[in-house]
Amino acid sequence: MSVSPPQTPTQDLRVEWPEYYRLVEALALKIHESGYAFNSLLCLARGGLRVGDVISRIFERPLGVLTVSSYRDEEGRQRGELRIAAAISSIEGEPRGRVLLVDDLADSGVTLAAVVEHLRQRFGAIDELRTAVIWLKGCSQVRPDYFVSYLPDSPWIHQPFEVYDHLRPEQLAQRLQAEGVNRR
């Protein structure tokens, strides 16, 4: 499903925790208002973990996790080979029935399209599969079923948890000590 031709990113979008969670809540509400009653909830790790966790809690559904990886080089901005984990971590077993697949964003759409195809081929008990993300970029070649924010200029998104990408234990210890946090 094509959305629009690729755009050149303009400026970066920086998102802090309060806005991030407001967007996840807005996504949950869109899903609810659509009437989609999903049996299985699956998130893509790492970016979709927080989205999946919140939606899991709001809808009172167990969360399955599928790990995928494609961004690795140049501070995570360069797409590499897409790798999809061999197994899904879930207390409910394999996805079945009506499945909701959540992630943080549809950038190029390559990951979302590949995972949807992977799930449909591998799990015959899936009757219906819908996708949900916070952000849909204009350069995406896939349009998720649910999204909160459409970004026609396809900016690079800096999410609040990315601060941990370069924070090492020694730096964390120094910061917490400087803040007077008792770690014992």
CATH number assigned to the domain comprising residue 142 = 3.40.50.2020
Query: Does residue 44 lie in a domain region?
Result: yes
Query: Does residue 58 lie in a domain region?
Result: yes
pLDDT of 76 reads: 52
Query: Does residue 6 lie in a domain region?
Result: no
Residue 108 has pLDDT above 60, yes or no: yes
Query: Does residue 3 lie in a domain region?
Result: no
Among candidates 8, 3, 2, which has minimal Cα distance to 155? 8
Q: Which of 123-127, 131-135, 160-164, 179-183 has the lowest mean pLDDT?
A: 179-183
pLDDT of 80 reads: 74
Q: Which of 32-36, 47-51, 166-170, 179-183 has the lowest mean pLDDT?
A: 179-183
How many domains does the chain divide into? 1
Note if the pTM is more than 0.85: yes
- Convert the chain into a string of H (helix), E (strand) and C (coil): CCCCCCCCCCCCEECCHHHHHHHHHHHHHHHHHHCCCCCEEEEEECCCHHHHHHHHHHHCCCEEEEEEEEEEECCCCEEEEEEECCCCECCCCCCCEEEEEECCEECCCHHHHHHHHHHHHHCCCEEEEEEEEEEEECCCCCCCCEEEEEECCCCCEECHHHHHHCCCHHHHHHHHHHCCCCCC
Can you tell me the distance from the alpha carbon of 55 to that of 43, in angstroms, rounded to the nearest whole number?
A: 10
Report pLDDT digits (tens) over 62-84.
999 999 998 555 555 556 789 99
Residue 151 has pLDDT above 60, yes or no: yes
pLDDT of 183 reads: 74
pLDDT of 75 reads: 52
pLDDT of 78 reads: 58
- For residue 38, the one-letter residue type is F
End-to-end CA distance of the chain: 53
Residue 9 has pLDDT above 60, yes or no: no
What's the average model confidence in pLDDT over 126-133? 98
Residue 164 domain boundaries = 13-178
Can you tell me the distance from the alpha carbon of 157 to that of 64, in angstroms, rounded to the nearest whole number?
A: 25
pLDDT band (50, 70, 90) for residue 182: confident
Average pLDDT of the residues of the chain: 91
Query: Does residue 141 lie in a domain region?
Result: yes
Query: Does residue 53 lie in a domain region?
Result: yes
